[in-house]
Structure 1
Amino acid sequence: MAEAKTNCLFLLTTFLLYTLSSASGSLDSDLTALLDFRAASDQLGALWTWNRSDPSPCSTWLGITCAGGRVTRLVLEDLNLNGTGALSALSRLDGLRVISLKSNLLSGSLPDLSSLSGLKLLFLSYNNLSGPIPPTSSLHRLYRLDLSHNNLSGSVPGSLNQLTRLLTLRLDSNRLTGSISGLSLPRLQDLNLSSNLLTGSIPPSLAAFSVSSFSSNPALCGAPLLPCRDVVSDPSQPGTPNMTSNAAAPVPPAAAVVTSSPSSKPEAAPPQHNERMSRAAVLAIVAGDFAVLVFVSCLLFCYFWRKFAWRKSTSRLREGEKIVYSSSPYGTAGMAVAGGGFERGKMVFLDTRAQGVKRFELEDLLRASAEMLGKGGYGTAYKAVLDDGSVVAVKRLRDVQVAGKREFEHHMEMLGRLRHQHLVPLTAYYYARDEKLLVYDFMPNGSLFSLLHGNRGPGRTPLDWSMRIRIAAGAAHGLAHIHHANRSSPRLAHGNVKTTNILLDKNCEPRLADYGLAMLGPSVGVATRSASYRPPEAPPADSRRPWATQKGDVYSFGVVLLEILTGKAASDCGAIDLPRWVQSVVREEWTAEVFDLELMRYKGIEEEMVALLQLAISCTAVSPDQRPKMSQVVKMIDEIRVSSGGEASPSHDSFDSISDSPSVVSEDASAGRVGVSSQ
């Protein structure tokens, strides 16, 4: 009896182990599924490297990548793969994270891929797939879905709403029908439903997308398209919508009236008023059109005249625009003295021994043509061209509660002594009661912010990895120099580290700007973007007291490193800040998905990127005591640069990313083209 129980227990254990191993899958079962896919789709022999006898298929089979003994990535683009139903074999690859079969000739219906619960990227565009879109509710990790340019039909499934992480949805150029009013994807960044047969209203949650996302769906209405009341059916072509501003049902013509009597023949119907009414209507329409034309012409004339006048006045203003605004020859740049008169301030040059420094007075700035480049938390930034043609950058401290004259001058002298190849040098300053000016070298090649986030649409030149790590290293060296330049108390800190304050000089070398200004006094208005760099221990952004620490600088620099790695602006993560967003993604073991998709074209940089990511996370630790010193940060970045061994070569074999990232155009893309930032 005991032996029988033992045998039953053994058989049950064996069955359970077999069931678990079958459910979890293996590399051998994955290869079998891939060979079935090849047999159904590869009539031209494009997958000739797929040989079952190959001892290392994960490294030699075209288009596949393995991890943890499973096939996790299948990228077979533009290989003329064809065949009906070939995709069904892929549903057995339950370890897949990426499927990209773009630009092939695959046909048939989409299979049920619900078994691929770990799938993150699905690209099947530019094929000949047909039929409805199957349910996708189990693909809870999917964040990019591209089924565009196929022959898919049916409705947009409501199960898409359960894909809470979806960032990209492209279903354009199909034959999809029905309503999308129930579609709600709060995290969606890239949407294209154009060139389908969709009907009904666009839900408010999708109204923020552009017209091109919904174009060529004649029966679709609502923002950003025409209001739904302006979309009616054309009675001449049933089912075809007609756009009109005054929808009205067609009125049938009145029946002819015939009179007769018993003793007479039927007479012709009396003349009707329809013809006369039609002529009157035509005249009214012509007169109305003429009135509308005159009205629109007047509006256009007024608009362009005002625009011309504004440009003319603006050009005149810029011709005479000065950094100091006043009717007095010296503006308000004077300081009252006890005798009731005025003592003029003077321009103080901090390092006259430096080459290329030209002395000038306030009058020269008054005569200079000045271009206002932006207004930020610590004042207004100008580009000033002096009479001799030299160009300087001027910061007008109008929005900072500056300390007294002696403290101000002492602080400026301390900042003036900071000379480093990665710092924007403070050349001179001017102090008066109502006018405080800082003069810097002009930086002509923009800011790190503009390079990372400016014009992410078509035609953009991506910032490559070697340039990013070089900028990070240069900024780190400059910040470390600030921290160690004055070893006596108080310890000097930058206080406003961010990507708009990392500028590029004429040789494209990075230089830190606006250092030390936070220690002068509180800013009247701190920009929202600056608040995204503030460490947790900092007082609120509207605090009325100055605040700047070296540990706070390390945190802000860590945020800059995360921007370099992710391509996201610090203020683009909504309610959660960038460091917390990165940590949440890393905790879910999606580390590869943190990195900027523009970096995916470079091969052999994964280790360097992960090392820099670890450094950035340590810099943004919540506790200041857990953050490294800037000297340690410099050392680690230099080690990463040495290990990279030069520029990385372009490739598409990095991580789980295929397509370009959604366009991100920032309103500050052009900020920071001076020696001081606009913030």
Structure 2
Amino acid sequence: MAMELRFTQARFCAFLLLLLFCCSLFPVPLALNEEVEALLSFKSSIEEDPGGSMASWNSTASDPCAWNGVTCQEGKVVAIALPRSHLLGSLPPSLSALAALRRINLRSNRLRGLLPPGLFSASSLQSLVLSGNSFSGAIPDEVGSLSSLQIFELSNNFLDGTIPASIAHCKRLRLLDLSRNNFSGALPAGFGTNLTALERLDLSYNRLNGSIPRDLGNLSSLIDTLDLSHNDFSGSIPASLGNLPERIYVDLAFNNLSGSIPQNGALVNRGPTAFIGNPNLCGEPLKNPCPASATSQSQFPYLPSDQSPVSSLDGRKSTSSLSKRSVIAIVIGDVLAIGLMAMLFFHCYRRTVSSKSELKTENSSSDSKDSKMCYCCGKDRSEVLAENVKQFDLIPLDKQVHFDLDDLLKGSAFVMGKSGIGIVYKVALDDGITMAVRRLGEGGSQRFKDFQTEVEAIGKVKHPNIVQLRAYYWSADEKLLIYDFISNGNLSNAIHGNPSDANFSPLPWSVRVKIMKGVAKGLAFLHEFSPKKYVHGDLKPSNILLGSEMEPYISDFGLGHLANMEIGATSIYSVGKANEKQQSPLSSISFSPIWSNTLFYQAPEALKSLRPSQKWDVYSYGVILLELISGRSPSAVMDTSDMDLVRWVQISIEEKKSLLNVIDPYLAQEPEREDDITAALKVALACAQFNPENRPSMRHIVDSLDKLAS
């Protein structure tokens, strides 16, 4: 009996030892009780979970390491990642109970309410990503206690107040993105001095004010972006920003900055997009020159002083006067020049009189006003006759034009834009009709018949997605094109916003699809069904106009031909009309401003081809699609990295990055559109193929886009 008792005790002791051993190896169920409670508290704060992302979070499953979106290490919860899960609710402070929590990623959900201060007591937190939600209120001062924080993303929320000074205590921060909120006030003191580990800083689209701190020049670890654009910063640009690494993209656009742009270090050779929207900034690379400062006499010693130039210090006359021989030579040269000019004037006078008499004989019904031109330049009589044609009224191109030149000149005119090929006016006529008038300016070597032929061909192009040319005016001194006025601005402003529009909101996907389809149909019509099967040659968002219902209109088509007529060049904008002697587009940049803003949308072969082709337009259209999908400007991508927008998207896909890294963050809020967005992205990349032979026709593009839901 005693022996059995000892055996039973031995078995019990062995069981206890085994139990203690198991507990030491697998402490998870006991240790996770508090963590389970914290996670279930988070789940209870979620009102809607349409995708069932938290379905596995329940009290019966006591091991949260198996729950969706939860990651554990050594039996501790270290990460919660539920991005784009359509969660509606709030964020509880109980997450601070997760002592080992390092990463939170709740990007692009529908979380709202205040940021709980308790959340910022999770001392191990290294990454907090809450962008693309609806959080409001201020950032708690407790953020300064997150000494291990490296990634802090709160972009695209409704947060306000000032940026807390305590954030400067987060000295390990590598990425700080507070863009697209309502933060105001000045940047806290020591911001640039303490956060020297920052690799990316984005504070754009807020209401931050005050001056730009000089210590931002200490952010020597930046490798990506310093974006302070679309705020209310004032004062001058600190020269210390030139100390930043030259490889980063500095964006100071659309603030209230003033003074000259420092030309040192990282601020040199920046494009104008980094500084636009600051009316009081001056100097390179902007076209607004700085006012010349008063220059001292010592800077220009060759200029005369206020004293007499012929007096020396002792009052005697200077000995630097010209010699007699030099004076005689100058006089003889002047006499010969005057004689030569007189002979030339007499020759021109005789030819002018002769030409006028011929004109009166052959065309007695012509206008009695003589042309103010000299006929001694070797032109034949047919050219003289053609150039003497003068137009004194509008020439309508359809029956809807019920106004004349006088009505147009009496209307209220406002400058809408200016480019290398003329000024565009918005003209409101007395009868309430509004037209857009493009003034091509003075001069030009083309004859009236050439101009008339080209303009009337453009006027015959009629399509719901192409701006209609209604009338024109021609004279030797003035050329006007009168179009329908399109009321809703251009696509570039619709994608990226206009500094004068305080209520800017990104385009929803349905509107973007509408624009994609409309532009494709208009371009396909130009290529396939227009009288000359035109090539646009300069397609870009700024010349895609939007109507009151956001319907797109292609504008500026055919202007390239007229611009080249102005400079005496052969047309390069209609298929089959290129001249073998024509200059390449690259060489035309220097004298044809139509190319100056087109480089980001030009096909790769544009640098070596003699003429544009329909495949050029397809490539440009592909870049516009990528801009619509990504929300990124091609110029901004080029300034940020060493690649264009097309290559940037291609590399992102080759590296198998998430679609979220490519598309506009606002589109992430429409997850049900993911398939359509992916399909449109494939069309865009097909259009932007390097080899033009691999690009689809616009007709096939229209067919592909028709499959997308509007």
Query: What is the TM-score when the length of structure 1 is the normalising length?
Result: 0.58
1:396 deviation in Å? Answer: 1.5
1:513 corresponds in structure 2 to: 555
1:45 deviation in Å? Answer: 7.3
1:6 corresponds in structure 2 to: none
| Structure 1 pair 400–510 and aligned structure 2 pair: CA distance change class (3 A) | farther
Which letter does structure 1 place at the counterpart of 2:124?
A: D
Q: Is contact 2:201-2:227 (8 Å) kept? A: no
Q: Is contact 1:349-1:429 (8 Å) kept? A: yes
Listed as ranges, the matches of 1:304-323 within 5 Å are none
Listed as ranges, the matches of 1:279-318 within 5 Å are none
Q: Is contact 2:178-2:203 (8 Å) kept? A: yes
Structure 2 regions of 5+ residues with no counterpart?
1-27, 59-66, 73-78, 220-224, 242-367, 376-382, 565-587
Q: Does 2:603 match 1:535?
A: yes
1:636 corresponds in structure 2 to: 704
1:574 deviation in Å? Answer: 3.4
1:101 deviation in Å? Answer: 8.8
1:187 deviation in Å? Answer: 4.8
1:39 corresponds in structure 2 to: 37
| Structure 1 pair 143–207 and aligned structure 2 pair: CA distance change class (3 A) | closer
Which letter does structure 2 place at the counterpart of 1:518?
A: G
Deviations 1:416-437 (A, max 9, x none): 2211111111112233333222
Secondary structure of the 1:422 match is coil
1:505 deviation in Å? Answer: 3.5
- Distance in 1 of aligned mates of 2:417 and 2:369: 23
Which letter does structure 2 place at the counterpart of 1:378?
A: I
Which letter does structure 1 place at the counterpart of 2:560?
A: A
2:661 corresponds in structure 1 to: 593
Aligned pair partner of 2:460 in 400, 408, 417: 417
Which letter does structure 1 place at the counterpart of 2:543?
A: N
Listed as ranges, the matches of 1:176-575 within 5 Å are 180-181=192-193, 183=195, 185=198, 187-190=200-203, 201-203=215-217, 209=228, 338=384, 342-345=388-391, 347=393, 349=395, 351-352=397-398, 354=399, 356-358=400-402, 360=404, 362-398=405-441, 403-455=446-498, 459-486=503-530, 491-506=533-548, 508-520=550-562, 521=564, 524-526=592-594, 529-539=597-607, 547-575=611-639
Secondary structure of the 1:134 match is coil
1:621 corresponds in structure 2 to: 689
| Structure 1 pair 48–454 and aligned structure 2 pair: CA distance change class (3 A) | closer
Deviations 1:568-617 (A, max 9, x none): 33332233332223223333313222222233333411111111111112
Which letter does structure 2 place at the counterpart of 1:103?
A: L
Deviations 1:323-369 (A, max 9, x none): xxxxxx999999987489943125564643x4x33252x44444443
1:158 deviation in Å? Answer: 4.5
1:82 deviation in Å? Answer: 2.5
Q: Is contact 2:442-2:478 (8 Å) kept? A: no
Q: Is contact 2:216-2:240 (8 Å) kept? A: no
Secondary structure of the 2:701 match is helix
Q: Is contact 1:33-1:90 (8 Å) kept? A: no
- Distance in 2 of aligned mates of 1:499 and 1:527: 14
Secondary structure of the 1:574 match is helix
- Distance in 2 of aligned mates of 1:630 and 1:333: 48
| Structure 1 pair 546–87 and aligned structure 2 pair: CA distance change class (3 A) | farther
Looking at both structures, which has the greater relative contact order when contacts are Cα pairs under 8 Å and sequence separation is at least 6? 1
- Decide which moves more: 545-554 or 170-179: 170-179
Q: Is contact 1:153-1:174 (8 Å) kept? A: no
2:645 corresponds in structure 1 to: 578
- Decide which moves more: 393-402 or 206-215: 206-215
Which letter does structure 1 place at the counterpart of 2:389?
A: E
- Distance in 1 of aligned mates of 2:148 and 2:115: 23
Q: Is contact 1:379-1:400 (8 Å) kept? A: no
- Decide which moves more: 549-558 or 587-596: 587-596
2:124 corresponds in structure 1 to: 112
Q: Is contact 1:120-1:143 (8 Å) kept? A: yes
Q: Is contact 1:519-1:546 (8 Å) kept? A: no
- Distance in 1 of aligned mates of 2:213 and 2:422: 52
Deviations 1:121-165 (A, max 9, x none): 69997557465333456x6x97969999898958444433x54x9
Q: Is contact 1:50-1:61 (8 Å) kept? A: no
Which letter does structure 1 place at the counterpart of 2:116?
A: L
Secondary structure of the 1:514 match is coil
Secondary structure of the 2:455 match is helix
Q: Does 2:102 match 1:91?
A: yes
| Structure 1 pair 514–181 and aligned structure 2 pair: CA distance change class (3 A) | same
Listed as ranges, the matches of 1:6-45 within 5 Å are 37-40=35-38
Name the % identity: 28
| Structure 1 pair 503–79 and aligned structure 2 pair: CA distance change class (3 A) | closer
- Distance in 2 of aligned mates of 1:393 and 1:417: 18
Q: Is contact 1:41-1:81 (8 Å) kept? A: no
Secondary structure of the 2:699 match is helix
- Distance in 2 of aligned mates of 1:335 and 1:441: 38
1:470 deviation in Å? Answer: 0.9
Which letter does structure 1 place at the counterpart of 2:620?
A: S
1:634 deviation in Å? Answer: 0.8
Please report the RMSD computed on the Cα atoms of aligned residues, expressed in angstroms: 5.4
Secondary structure of the 1:88 match is coil
- Distance in 2 of aligned mates of 1:487 and 1:533: 25
| Structure 1 pair 144–135 and aligned structure 2 pair: CA distance change class (3 A) | farther
Q: Is contact 2:387-2:447 (8 Å) kept? A: no
| Structure 1 pair 439–538 and aligned structure 2 pair: CA distance change class (3 A) | same
- Distance in 2 of aligned mates of 1:570 and 1:130: 35
Q: Does 2:176 match 1:159?
A: no
Q: Is contact 1:144-1:167 (8 Å) kept? A: yes
Q: Is contact 2:492-2:541 (8 Å) kept? A: yes
Aligned pair partner of 2:147 in 126, 130, 134: 134
- Distance in 2 of aligned mates of 1:513 and 1:583: 29
- Distance in 2 of aligned mates of 1:574 and 1:367: 45
- Distance in 1 of aligned mates of 2:374 and 2:435: 25
Q: Does 2:666 match 1:602?
A: no
Q: Is contact 2:125-2:149 (8 Å) kept? A: yes
- Distance in 2 of aligned mates of 1:399 and 1:568: 38
Which letter does structure 2 place at the counterpart of 1:446?
A: G
Q: Is contact 2:543-2:555 (8 Å) kept? A: yes
Secondary structure of the 2:201 match is coil
| Structure 1 pair 458–38 and aligned structure 2 pair: CA distance change class (3 A) | farther
2:348 corresponds in structure 1 to: none
- Distance in 2 of aligned mates of 1:174 and 1:338: 67
Deviations 1:416-468 (A, max 9, x none): 22111111111122333332221211212222223222248863343222122
The number of residues matched between the two structures is 487
2:335 corresponds in structure 1 to: none
Secondary structure of the 2:604 match is coil
Deviations 1:392-423 (A, max 9, x none): 22111239967554433222222122111111
Which letter does structure 2 place at the counterpart of 1:416?
A: G
Secondary structure of the 1:583 match is helix
Structure 1 regions of 5+ residues with no counterpart?
1-28, 216-220, 228-328, 647-679
Q: Is contact 1:142-1:166 (8 Å) kept? A: yes
